[in-house]
Chains A and B, each alone.
Chain A
Amino acid sequence: AQKVTQAQTEISVVEKEDVTLDCVYETRDTTYYLFWYKQPPSGELVFLIRRNSFDEQNEISGRYSWNFQKSTSSFNFTITASQVVDSAVYFCALSEANTGGFKTIFGAGTRLFVKA
């Protein structure tokens, strides 16, 4: 069965600090997809990134970076030089290929507070 664990319920940082959000997943599939979504205070979930299980290359997009390590079943998300606008709830998610990549399950989320 697939499972996503985000152990950090809330994180509070001061603007310009770096912050890492942890995500650990469980799956029996060898082919799967991992995602991060952002839910700002306005409420609408927004897609950030998708990785497939065969691509462990880390990715950087501006101040955002993602570290995927199959050996530890982790897909962590780092925000560099955080800004107040980064305040949101961040969800890690997993889709297994045996479901055709259809069913996506989410972790409980990490609420990030960035203080000015």
Chain B
Amino acid sequence: DTGVSQNPRHKITKRGQNVTFRCDPISEHNRLYWYRQTLGQGPEFLTYFQNEAQLEKSRLLSDRFSAERPKGSFSTLEIQRTEQGDSAMYLCASSNFTGELFFGEGSRLTVL
């Protein structure tokens, strides 16, 4: 069991570009979550999946954000037309039926 893996770990991009992050969850976990964390704040819920189904998406999330989890395995989070306000740490977590979240190391996005 290698834990939750995220890549890239750090992405620097220019405003207006698209970026994509990948998350590989713990293999036996069927639930996968995306959170966003900014400096000094707690993780902010973005969306979650059970298997391949996206069950909820935060109302705070603009249409520029989209997430997928094809075949219920890895997941991608894409941000289109990035803005400086998108700069944050994007965290992925997975869980089984007991609900404890196992987090990856995160992908830090810097939008110039």
Contacts and interface: CB of A to CB of B under 8 A. Distances in A.
Contacts of B99: 33, 35, 50, 95, 101-102, 104
A43 interface: yes
Contacts of A95: 99
Contacts of A37: 101
B101 A108 contact: no
A116 to B, nearest CB: 24
Given A102-B48, A102-B50, A103-B56, A44 B43 contact: no
Interface of B: 31, 33, 35, 40-45, 48, 50, 55-56, 89, 91, 93, 98-106
A103 B103 contact: no
Contacts of A106: 35, 42-45
A99 interface: yes
Contact of B45 (A101, A105, A109): A105
Contact of A102 (B31, B91, B105, B106): B31
Contact of A104 (B33, B41, B89): B33
Interface residues of A, number: 25
A44 B89 CA distance: 11
B42 A103 contact: no
Contacts of A11: none
A30 to B, nearest CB: 17
20 contacts: A35-B100, A35-B101, A37-B101, A43-B105, A43-B106, A44-B106, A45-B103, A47-B101, A50-B99, A91-B43, A95-B99, A102-B31, A102-B50, A102-B55, A103-B45, A104-B33, A104-B45, A108-B41, A108-B42, A109-B40
Nearest to A44: B105
B41 A109 contact: yes
